[in-house]
A and B are shown apart, each in its own frame.
Chain A
Amino acid sequence: MNLSVSIGKLTLQNPVMVASGTFGYGVEYSRLLDLNQLGAVVVKGIRLGPVRGNPTPRTAEVTSGMLNAIGLQGPGVDGFVEKYWPFLKSLRVPSIINIWGTTVEEYAEVARRFDAVGGVGALELNVSCPNIKEGGAQFGTDPKLLARVVAACRKATTLPLITKLSPNVTSVVPYALAAEAEGSDALSITNSFPAMAIDIETRRPKLANVTGGLTGPCIKPIAIKLVWDARRAVKIPIIGMGGIQSAADAIEFFLAGANAVAIGTANFYEPQTALAVIAGIQDYLQCHNITDIRELTGAVRLS
C-alpha cells in the first residue's frame, strides 16, 4: 500500500500533517505522541521579528468549533531558529514553516532566511490570517497582491512553496490560479473563516479582538467545497484542512480533490487525532482494495 505523496520536490511518508497554529513548534506535543509517524509538522506562523500577539480573551468555544484571534504571537525568525529549530531538525519527518509578513518584501526576506537555514521541508505562505491588522489576509484577498507575494518568495527560495488560501473570497479559483501561475508548488485550503460570538449577559464580544477565525468540525463541509472548486482549476497538489477529526473526514477531502490533509483544531482536544487518521486511512484503503492513496484524489463520483 502506498501512502506517500509529493509536494514539489518534498516527499511525505504519508499524507497527514498537522495544521499551522495548532501544533506549536512540535516539541510541545512530543511527550504525547510520536511525531515521526506524521506526514509533516507545520509550525505556527513566523514573521521576521517577534510578535506579541492580541489581548485576551483570544479564543472562544462555539457549537462544534472555536473562534480564535491569537494574532500570530511568535518568536520571529531568529528566536525560532535558536529555540525550536534544533528539535525540529532532529525529527525524521519534514518540518514545514508557515511564514508571513506585512509587506511583499518581508515575505521574501523570511523565505530567504529559511532557505539559508538548511533542512527545511517546505514553506507555507500565510496570506490568510484574519486576525492581524496588517499583513496576512490582505494578501490573500487580492489576486494581484497574492501573485506578487508568491512570485517574490519564488525568487527568494528553492524550497517547495505552499500557498495557504483564504476562504473569505467570492471564489477561490482566481487565487488558486494566481498561486499556481507564480510557481507555488501546492495550496493549503483552507484557513479559518472570519466570525464572531457575543456574550449575551455582558453584551461583549467573546474575543478581545471582537472578531476571529472559525475552525473545527463546523467548517468542514465549506472547506470540502473550497477544495473541490480549486481542484477543478489547478493541477498542483492541494492540502485539505478544515474540521478533520477522523479518517472518514480526511477521506472526504481526498475525494473532493486533496492530495494530503492537515489536522487542526482537533489537536487541541484529542492530540492523538493525526495518528488515528493515518491508521484509519490505511484501514479504508485496505477495505476498498485500493493500493495507492493517490487514487483517491478527486475520485468523487458525480453520476
Chain B
Amino acid sequence: MVEQPVQVISNERDTDAYFRLVLRAPEIARATQPGQFLHLRIPPLRDALLRRPFSIFQANGETVSILYKTIGKGTDMLARMGAGEELSAIGPLGHGFTVPARGGETPLLVAGGYGMAAMYLLAERSPQKGIVFVGGRRRVDILCEAEFRKLGWDVRVATEDGSYGEKGLVTQPLLAEIQNPKSKAESARPAKQIQNPKLFACGPTPMLKAVAKIAEEHKLAAEISMDEHMCCGVGVCLTCVIPVKTASGWEYQRTCTEGPVFDSREVVWEVAK
C-alpha cells in the first residue's frame, strides 16, 4: 500500500456512461492482486473532499486502469480529466479474490455492470479458464467482454431488456449452467460437469445475495466482492462495514480492509442492505 501522485495516461469513453482510465503507477501495478482497489483523490473537486474507491481493472507493468461509470459529482469530474493530469492514489487496497491453484477449482465469474472490471485480473491469473456470466440492464452495460474472450474464457451475457444475449438476470444462465452444464471450458468434455466449480461475483448487492443463495443451494463455495460507500479506504473510519458472522453472532467488518472480497457464507444477508 502506497500513497502517491499518479499521472493520467488516457481516459476514454468505453460505452455510454462508462469510461476507462489508465494511470501511470508502477509501484501500485506491481503490488496489485485480483479484486483490490484504488482510492483516488480527484483534485478539481475542491469542496467535495473525500476520495473515491475504484476496483482495479488491469495492472500491466507500469500502469493500472479502472473502469468507471459517471454516477455523480466525483465520477463526472474524473471523466473530464485528460492525459498528463495528476491525481493522488492510495493503493492497492483491500483483501482480494483467492486465485485458484493449478488443477484446483474452475472459476465461474458472475458480474453485474462495472463489477466486470473487478474480475478481470482474477480471470487473467487463474490457471483454469472458466466461464464469466455478465449481466446488465441494457447492451451498453455489458463491459469488456472482448478482454475476457481474448483470455480464452467463455462469456455468457444476459440483459434485462433483452437487447443483447439472454433476456433476464445474470443469475439465470448461471443457474442453467450449474444445473445442466453445457460448458465449452477447459477440461470439460461435452455434457460433463465442470471440474470443481467455484463462484466469484462482483456487482450490485441484490445480485450478490442471489449468487450467495445459489452457492448455498448447490453447495458451492463463493467469493463475493462488496461495493459499499467508502470514506478513508484504509480501515479507520468504519463507514464501509457489512455484517459478518462470528462465533457468537455477527459484527460489522470493513469492506476496505477485511473485504471487499468475503466468503459468501460469512455475510449475514438478512442484515446486509
- Residues of A in contact with B (beta carbons under 8 Å apart): 21-24, 28-29, 31-32, 44, 50, 52-53, 56-59, 61, 63-66, 68, 70, 73, 216-217, 265-272
Contacts and interface: CB of A to CB of B under 8 A. Distances in A.
Contacts of B235: 24, 28
The A contact surface, by secondary structure, is loop
Contacts, number: 83
Contact of A22 (B49, B229, B237): B237
Contact of A58 (B50, B236, B241, B257): B241
A66 B231 contact: yes
Main secondary structure on B side of the interface with A: loop
Interface string B29-70: 000000000000100000111110000000000000000000
B252 A65 contact: no
A249 to B, nearest CB: 14
Contacts of A59: 229, 231, 237, 239
Contacts of B228: 56
Contacts of A269: 41, 49-51
Nearest to B240: A56
B232 interface: yes
A68 B48 CA distance: 15
Contact of A271 (B50, B231, B234): B234
Given A61-B50, A66-B49, A66-B50, A268 B41 contact: no
A270 B39 CA distance: 11
Nearest to A33: B3
B1 interface: yes
B252 A73 contact: yes
A268 B238 CA distance: 11
B103 to A, nearest CB: 35
A266 B235 CA distance: 15
A112 B3 CA distance: 39
Contacts of A267: 232, 236
Interface in B142-188: none
A16 to B, nearest CB: 17
A50 B237 CA distance: 17
Contact of B238 (A29, A73, A216, A270): A73
12 contacts: A22-B237, A28-B234, A31-B1, A32-B2, A58-B239, A61-B50, A66-B231, A70-B237, A73-B252, A267-B236, A269-B41, A270-B88
B273 interface: yes
Interface of B: 1-3, 41, 47-51, 88, 90, 228-229, 231-232, 234-242, 251-252, 257, 273
Nearest to A63: B47
Given A52-B251, A53-B252, A216-B49, A32 B90 contact: yes
Contact of B49 (A29, A53, A65): A65
A53 B241 contact: yes
Nearest to B3: A32
Interface centre among B41, B90, B228, B234, by most chain A C-beta atoms within 10 angstroms, is B234
A126 to B, nearest CB: 15
A264 to B, nearest CB: 11
A267 B2 CA distance: 15
A200 to B, nearest CB: 14
A61 B49 contact: yes
B17 to A, nearest CB: 17
Nearest to B256: A28
A275 B88 CA distance: 17
Which residue, A23, A65, A266, A271, has most C-beta atoms of chain B within 10 A? Answer: A271
A42 to B, nearest CB: 12
Nearest to B234: A28
Contacts of A44: 236
Contacts of A53: 238, 241, 252
A63 B134 CA distance: 36
B30 to A, nearest CB: 16
B252 A52 contact: yes
B241 A73 contact: yes
